[in-house]
Structure 1
Amino acid sequence: MLNETSDNSLIRNIAVIGSGLAGLTAAIFLGQLGHRVRVFEKSRGPGGRMASKRVADGSVDIGAQYFTGRNPEFLTFLERYAGRGCFGPWNATFGFQSAGDRWEPFPEETRYVGIPRMTAITRGLSEQVELTTQVRIARLHRSGDRWRLVCTEGREHGEYDQVVVTAPPAQTQELLAVSGLSTLLTATQPPGGGILPCWAVAAYFRDAPTAPFDAMRPDSDVLYWVANNSSKPGRNDAGEWWVLHATPEWTEANVDASAEKVCNDLLAEFRLLTGFGGTVDDSVAHRWLYARSASTAQPGYLWDQSEGVGIAGDWLVGGRVEGAWESASLLARAMQTG
């Protein structure tokens, strides 16, 4: 955790762009230091890729499927700011399919999920910050030694001493380019080139399929991930909702396909994988243009002290949900000392 300060001479107005885990973490830590922080989110609510889609009688996690707590401070942070009851271990069976169709278990590790949905975590964290939703910041405009934020509709949203950007790489690079932040733009290009897209399908079965594991990484050209969402704690579904993630290669080849085609193709592969011949009672598709990082570059965060602009996100730490928290923590510490 950061060292708190009460020196009013150091208090700054800070804008955070994006309310995923990285943005909310940065806002909470910077607020803990006594700064005045406002978070801007282009969507209707917080969450980023820790997203859940509303379905009949509940919701399904269509983005990040689980997270780890390899750094115990991460779990402590969630308990303190999101609430102890908003997440818990997913006591499921995990397996991957090696060449030759042989199934093997995942390495032993505690895996956590939000309860009753992944968005419970970011909803809880967002209660600790000042959040403005449905505003997409399109440009930063220099006004003396401060930054004015301008949205896509041309309206200004205040002046700030510093700005933290936690959008996906492509959106971050676009914002930096139009704002004249060439040094930071150049720094984002090596790690930002490897963000992979993903088509996701949630499928409902009144009569549950039979599968070797609750969560699976198949050896498939179509499916990258398959999981029984109803096996997660707190879901209480009648029947089972399953989540299917396409491979990046298949997604890129079908990035503009219709939702109907995506559902049909992924469910056809699911039938081959499980041997399930029953009825699919409902399905919904969602396209993630920026799903996960393929880059091995791990600068952790980016901070231009002369401009007062920083960048955080899991893509700067090699991916993983926990990486978003780590990146934002490192950036907040750098802003504290610099």
Structure 2
Amino acid sequence: MPQAPRGPRHFAVIGAGMAGIACARTLVQAGHSVTVFEKTVSPGGRMATRSSPFGSFDHGAQYFTVRDARFARALETVPGLCKPWSANAIRVLDAHGRVTEAPLPARESHWVAVPGMSDLVTQWAQPLAAACQLELKTRVTRIERDALDPAGWQLRTEAGEARHVYGGFDGVMLALPAPQAADLLATSGLSPKGLRKLASVDIAPCWTLMLAFPNAMQPDLVTLGPQWNAARSTHHRVAWLARESSKPGRTPTERWTVQASAEWSREHLQDDPARIEAKMLKAFTEVTGIYAAPAHTAVHRWRHARTVKPLGQTHLWDAHTGIGACGDWCIGHRVEDAFLSGLELALAAG
């Protein structure tokens, strides 16, 4: 006989990046209850925006594209929040900053959230926060069987010096980078059969440099340095450069975000941030020809940034234990990949 449909359940979602919020939203829309746990101060993950006295920097995901109709429909729920970016013709540079390929007409639009990339996930997470279903600055340290219901799950967490146990979960969704998801399962003494493929995923780190040049704001100077706004580079240290001030809805102060190559970031993962800043600034000068001293510099290390070897499927779900995993690393490294992974995991579980 066919099984009767299950009623509403309570899911824990660990991670409030694009994948985690997409998963949580979909579960709520299906009638389930969720609690989202995020170790940082705000949702977004690598859809991140950092403020400075000179304007903001999208120091994680730089833009996104829209290829799947489901992602397009989701974006319709936040009309006006996302704008096309004029950097459609992204240059390709050699190690000396020379353009090696003429820009081709854009095959698809490149979009950014306004006023910062983090605002898209923040907006989608707002109903969860309003319903007290979003626990920020709360790190999950262990997943274990519920003390009151051995068929369910509870989570041990840290929030500053405080320790807390959240229980009553029918399922747990790991919206984390694959290595972090694997580590949490190992720490918890868990090895769900459906999640053993986590070890096959390879994700590279990324050092990111942020620079501001307020002195470039002069009446007779349109832009500082090159006359392009975004480029991929073959310099051994630098993989990507973007003029943040060229994005819609940003302040006009000349600002650049520079992302290091995966190979260089791996090699220098544990280096002192001041040393990283000096080396990346030198590479930035070599690529752009900008020798002016920036008034503001900052670096950020993403331990898990760009997918090198994806999982090869949209999500992982172990129906026997009720534990799943999602993230852009399942099928790629794009923002839309993260959204679709979270969506598909929620549909599989719900």
Aligned partner (choices 143, 150, 154) of residue 148 of structure 1: 154
1:176-325 matches, within 5 Å, as: 176-182=185-191, 183-191=193-201, 194-206=202-214, 207=216, 208-237=223-252, 239-325=253-339
Helix, strand or coil for the counterpart of 2:185?
A: helix
1:104 aligns with 2:102: yes
Does the aligned pair in 2 maintain the 1:176–1:184 contact within 8 Å? no
Deviation of 1:179 (Å): 2.5
Q: 2:136 aligns with which of 133, 136, 139?
A: 133
RMSD over aligned Cα, in angstroms?
A: 1.9
Q: Which moved more, 1:178-187 or 1:62-71?
A: 178-187
Residues 267-303 of structure 1: CA deviation (Å, up to 9, x unaligned): 2111111222223121111111011111144121000
Does 2:52 align with 1:37? no
Gaps of 5+ in 2: 217-222
Q: 1:274 to 1:311 in 2, by over 3 A?
A: same
Structure 1 unaligned blocks of 5 or more: 1-6
Question: 1:4 corresponds to which residue?
Answer: none
1:88 aligned to 69, 83, 86, which one?
Answer: 83
Of stretches 23-32 and 211-220 in structure 1, the one that deviates more from structure 2 is: 211-220
Deviations 1:220-275 (A, max 9, x none): 101010000110100023x2110000111111222222222222211211111122
Q: Distance in 2 between matches of 1:334 and 1:256?
A: 38
1:174 counterpart = 2:183: yes
Pick which of 134-143 and 251-260 moved more: 251-260
CA distance in 2, matches of 1:19, 1:125: 10
The alignment-based identity, stated in percent, is 34
Listed as ranges, the matches of 1:107-126 within 5 Å are 107-126=106-125
Give the number of equivalent residue pairs: 325
Give the whole-Å Cα distance in 1 for the aligned partners of 2:176 and 2:206: 17
- Check whether the contact 2:95–2:233 (CA below 8 A) recurs between aligned residues: no
Opposite residue 160 of structure 1, the aligned amino acid is F
AA at the equivalent of 2:118: T
Q: CA deviation at 1:209?
A: 2.2
- Render the CA deviation track for 1:59-104: whole Å, top value 9, x for unaligned: 1100000011011321221231xx2122111122411125894233
Q: CA deviation at 1:162?
A: 0.8
- Farther-moved stretch of structure 1 (11-20 vs 203-212): 203-212
Alignment equivalent of 1:75, drawn from 72, 89, 113: 72
* Distance across 1 between alignment mates of 2:15 and 2:213: 35
CA–CA distance in structure 2, aligned partners of residues 119 and 151 of structure 1: 25
Q: Which residue identity is paired with 1:145?
A: A
Once the two structures are overlaid, the 10-residue window that deviates more, 130-139 or 71-80, is: 71-80
Aligned to 1:48: 45
Cα distance in 2 for residues equivalent to 1:254 and 1:318: 24
Q: TM (normalized to structure 1)? A: 0.91
TM-score of the aligned structures, taking structure 2 as reference length: 0.88
1:209 touches 1:274 (CA, 8 Å); kept in 2?
no
